[in-house]
Amino acid sequence: MALAAVFASRAALAQVPASAPPPSGDASAAQEVTTNPGEKNVSLEDRVKSVQRKSFLMKHRLSLSVDGAASVNDAFFQKWGGGGQLSFAFSDPFSVTARFDYFGDQELENVITAKQVLQSQLYATRLHYLSALDFVWTPIYGKLATFNKIVHFDLYFLAGAGVAGGEQGVLPATEIGIGERIFLTDWCSTGVEGRYAFYVDSANGEESTLQKTLLVSAVATLWIPFHSAEETR
């Protein structure tokens, strides 16, 4: 009877299933994804940094600008002027600009000093106007935070050719420059430009020389249409 009881207890133990081994690291991760899919997805999204799209688009838009300009590299005659610009952007980086600026000259104190103290005679060339057609490349776009507000800006380079009104009449001219824009709204921007204008002129029949006029301008721009193409999608 004792032997029969032992055999019966061993048979009962054999019918009990063995406990499953603890899940490995991969299996526990899979179980975490399966059991808590919502929490896992949120965790992954928190680790992914989204890249924001450019908020201000210039492609296929016209821009009308007014500017005030002044020369900064003439020690004897200060040039003051202003004018307008008309631009069309073929794409966001590339555009073409037609511009015209009219100038007036102001004699500085150095002219009086040179004439009275040094007893020298000045032969001055005067720039009356400057008109050019420029190719514009905008490779840099960015934004900065100021006064709890995000401000968008860009940096562009320009180069072109046109005509200058000098002492000898209408003269061929070229120019190169750099500018920066700050976008106040989707249809309005303001900025500054620096341009070097080159043309050959002479005063009072003297020998012709290359004139290099550095102009700094403040520019205000209106963009047409008043919304970018991104907003109509």
Q: Has domain 62-232 been given CATH number 3.40.50.720?
A: no
What's the rounded mean pLDDT across residues 65-92? Answer: 91
Amino acid at 66: V
* 8 Å CB contact between 158 and 97: yes
H or E segment and range at residue 92? none
Q: Give the least confident one: 69-83, 131-145, 154-168.
A: 69-83
β-bridge partners, 129: 102, 165
Residue-range domain boundaries for the chain: 62-232
The pTM for the full model equals: 0.71
What's the rounded mean pLDDT across residues 150-167? Answer: 94
pLDDT of residue 73: 85
pLDDT of residue 30: 47
